[in-house]
């Protein structure tokens, strides 16, 4: 996350500001900037999904997941990755929503495996302190942004919703950095 996702988040935010300046004719910027902003958003979301899958797989191996549980877990990991790839290729809002929901639910199913939950019992269980639930909200918001990407440019209310969602995303990224570091040091 630190090596790929956070730097791309910074670039995505910068490209979003430039796209806004272009739309408002404040700055003569190349017409490719909004497209690059959308591409970076998909890369950030894909990077987050991949980072979660790698972390879950690492925790499954470190947590001593049984062989009979591992097959189902691996199928869920592959299912989440496949759902994200299908989301990127889907046309229309409804298919995109279904693939995004499938990706998110599969990630949540993978993260809720008993072998993975055992080590978390030492950490605070309040939702606002939880790396798991903060990450769940973060991934849900990022997947929603990928779903609504085509509608953002043409509708003012969608642009405003996108901006506010991503303010929450920025706050969640900060808390994820803090709680993730805390969990690594406590483990």
Q: What is the pLDDT of residues 29-87, one digit of tens each?
A: 888 888 999 999 999 999 999 999 988 888 787 777 777 778 888 888 899 999 999 99
pLDDT in tens, 81-135: 999 999 999 999 999 999 999 999 999 988 887 776 665 555 555 655 678 888 8
Closest CA to 9 of 36, 45, 55: 45
Sign of the torsion formed by the C-alpha atoms of 123, 129, 133 and 135: negative
């Amino acid at each position: 996350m630190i090596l790929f996702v956070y730097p791309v988040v910074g670039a995505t935010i910068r490209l979003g500001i430039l796209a806004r300046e272009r739309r408002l004719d404040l700055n003569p910027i190349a017409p490719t900037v909004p497209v690059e902003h959308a591409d970076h958003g998909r890369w950030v979301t894909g990077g987050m999904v991949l980072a979660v899958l790698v972390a879950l797989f690492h925790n499954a191996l470190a947590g001593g997941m049984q062989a009979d549980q591992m097959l189902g877990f691996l199928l869920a990991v592959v299912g989440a990755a496949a759902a994200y790839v299908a989301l990127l290729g889907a046309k229309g809002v409804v298919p995109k929503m279904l693939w995004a929901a499938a990706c998110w639910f599969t990630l949540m199913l993978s993260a809720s495996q008993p072998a993975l939950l055992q080590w978390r019992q030492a950490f605070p269980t309040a939702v606002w302190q939880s790396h798991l639930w903060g990450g769940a909200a973060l991934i849900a918001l990022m997947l929603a942004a990928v779903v609504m990407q085509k509608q953002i440019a043409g509708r003012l209310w969608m642009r405003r919703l996108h901006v506010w969602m991503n303010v929450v995303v920025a706050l969640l990224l900060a808390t994820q950095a803090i709680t993730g570091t805390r969990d690594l040091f406590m483990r």
